[in-house]
Chain A
C-alpha cells in the first residue's frame, strides 16, 4: 500500500538534488540513541529465539496490544508517511480514503471473521493456510510470488528512503542504505519476529511523538480546522479538496479522477481486504498473539490507531497547501526547475516547525518508519522462505535447530537481495514502477482464494490453484493492455476520465472477480474434499473455541462495533 508519487523520476535526478536542511549535534544524538536501543533489543532477545516457534512466531506470546501496534506499524513505513502527505497536498482530503475505507472495514473483518481460522489452524503463514486448505500448488504459487516481491519491494523502499535522506539532509546514498539495512538485518537475524515486533512497537511510538508536533503547530498557525478549510478553498479556488465523498459522483468532479464505486468496491473491498487480510507481512504480526482472543483484538486495536494516522499524515499535507510560501510540483517539473516536489511536503513541514532536537526526533521518526517496514518485509520473507519453500519443497526433514539457522541466514540473504535491488533501481529507475505493479497483481486474487477457502467448504484443491492463477493473469493482462493501448482505460476503469488510481482499483476488482468465478466453476467440476479434512479451516465445519469474557464490554466484537461506529461518524463529518 505504499504510495510514491513519481519517485522513479526523482531517481534520475538525484545527483543534482538540493538539500533542505542539516542536522546539528543534538539531532545526531537523538538518532544515535535510537540506533543504540534498537541494536540492544536485538542482542537482548537473541536468547529468547532459539526454537522455530520462537524465531518465526515470537513464541505466540504477544499480547493484543503489542500484536495490534506491530500490525499497524509494519505498514506505517516512512514512504507511506511521505507519500500520503504528498497525495494530500496533490489531491486534498480524498487521500484519507486509503486510511479509512481502505483499511478499517478490512482490519475489523480480519479480527472478527478470519482470524479464528488463521489462528486455530496453527498455520505459520498465509501460504501455509493455502497448503492446508488447497494443497501444494496454491501454496507454491503464493509463497514464491510473495517471497520474491517482498524482498524486491524492500529494496525499492530502501533506495527511495536513502534518496529522501539525500534530498532532505544531503546524506550519502551508500551510507543510508548500508547503515539502515545492516541494523535491520542484525536485530531481525538475532531476535527473529519477537525482535521485529518489539522494534515495531517502539517505532510506532516514535513515529507519533516525532510527527505529532507538525499538525499541532500547523493548526495553531492557521487558526484551526475551519480556517484551514477556508484558506484551502480560497487558495485553490475550488471546494473539492476538503470533501471525502460529495465529489465522487463522477470521475471528472474530483482531483483524483475516481468514482465512488471504485473507492467502495475496488479500494474498500478488494484492494483493502486483499492487503489487510492476506498479505503475510501484516498478518504475521497477529499470528504471534498469545491466544485467540488477543488475535481477534489485535487487528481491532490496530484499526483504531490506523484511523488516527491521517492526523499526522494527511493533515500536514493539507496544511502545506496553505502555509508554504511556494507551490510544490510534480517530480519531473521539480527536477527540471529546481522547485520542491510533492514528496517533500512532510519534510518541509518538519523543517518549518522543528528546532534542533525536535528536527532530529522528526527525522528519527522517518528512519524508524522505514526500518519497521523493512523489518516487516525481511521477517515475513524469512518465514515464508523457510516454512513454505525450503521446508516444503527442498528439505522437509531437517531439525528444528536447522530451520532456525535457515531463518537467520535467509534474513541476511533477504537483506542482501534488497540491497542489490536498491542498487539495481539506481541504474534502471523504471524497474521501480514495474515491481510495484507486480506486487499489486497478486494481492486481489489471493484474497479471493483465501476468503472462498474460509467461507465455502465446496471449494476444491484444483479450483484454489487455478482460481489464483486466473486472477493473477487477469490482473497482468489488464495492466499490459492499458500500457500497450492507453485508450483501453475506458474499458478497464469504466471511464476515459479515470486516472492511475482508479485504474488500479478497477483492475484489482476484475482480478478478484475472475479469481472467484474460476474458483467456483472449477469447484463444481471437481470432487469436493471430505468434510473431516476441512476441520479448523472452513466456516461452519468446525466449532470455534468459545471465548469467556467476564463482561460484555470485553468482547472483541463490541470493540469492533465501537471502532466501526467511529469510522462511520468520521466519514459523515468529513463528507
Chain B
C-alpha cells in the first residue's frame, strides 16, 4: 500500500524540472549568445539559478519520494 504523496515531493519535482530546463538553456546560451541580452547577462544567472533549482528539487524529490508503507 502506498502512502499519500507529500506536497514537498510535488515541489521537488517542479523545481527539478525547472532547474533542468533553465540550466540547459543557460549552457546553450554560452555557445549561442542572445542577440538582445538582458542586463547582467554576463553573470549567466540561468546557469547558477538553474543549478540551484535542480539541486534543491533533487533533494526534495528524493527525501519525500513516495514509499511503500
Which of A's residues lie within 8 Å of B, judged by CB?
26, 29-30, 33-34, 37, 41, 44, 48, 66, 198, 201-202, 205-206, 209, 213, 217, 220-221, 323, 351-358, 361
Contact = CB atoms under 8 A, between A and B. Distances in A.
A393 to B, nearest CB: 36
Contacts of B49: 213, 358
Contacts of A66: 7
Q: Which of A44, A217, A221, A323 has the most CB of B within 10 A?
A: A217
17 contacts: A29-B21, A33-B14, A33-B18, A41-B10, A44-B5, A202-B7, A202-B11, A206-B14, A209-B15, A209-B18, A217-B43, A221-B40, A354-B38, A355-B45, A356-B25, A358-B49, A361-B22
A48 B26 CA distance: 40
B7 A217 contact: no
Q: Which of A201, A220, A361 has the most CB of B within 10 A?
A: A361
B21 A220 contact: no
Interface string B3-24: 0110100110111011001100
Given A353-B40, A353-B45, A361 B10 contact: no
A352 B38 contact: yes
Nearest to A45: B4
A358 B14 CA distance: 14
A152 B25 CA distance: 41
Given A66-B7, A213-B45, A355-B45, A26 B21 contact: yes
A202 B45 contact: no
Contact of B7 (A201, A206, A213, A355): A201
A221 B11 CA distance: 31
Given A30-B21, A213-B49, A361-B18, A355 B11 contact: no
A531 to B, nearest CB: 42
6 smallest CB-CB distances across A and B, nearest first, come from A357-B25, A357-B22, A198-B7, A26-B25, A205-B11, A201-B7
Contacts of A351: 38
Nearest to B41: A355
Interface of B: 4-5, 7, 10-11, 13-15, 17-18, 21-22, 25-26, 29, 34, 37-41, 43, 45-46, 49-50, 53
A44 B53 CA distance: 25
A357 B13 contact: no
A37 B13 CA distance: 9
Contacts of B53: 209
Contact of B4 (A48, A221, A352, A355): A48
A217 B40 contact: yes
A356 B15 CA distance: 17
A358 B11 contact: no
B21 A358 contact: no
B30 to A, nearest CB: 11
A357 B10 CA distance: 20
Nearest to B23: A357
Contacts of B50: 357
Given A221-B40, A358-B49, 15 more contacts: A30-B22, A33-B14, A205-B14, A221-B39, A355-B25, A355-B26, A355-B29, A355-B37, A355-B45, A355-B46, A356-B25, A356-B29, A357-B22, A357-B26, A358-B45
B17 A33 contact: yes
Nearest to B12: A205
A359 B20 CA distance: 15
B9 to A, nearest CB: 11
B52 to A, nearest CB: 8
Nearest to A34: B14
Contacts of A209: 15, 18, 53
Contacts of B46: 355-358
B60 to A, nearest CB: 9
A201 to B, nearest CB: 5
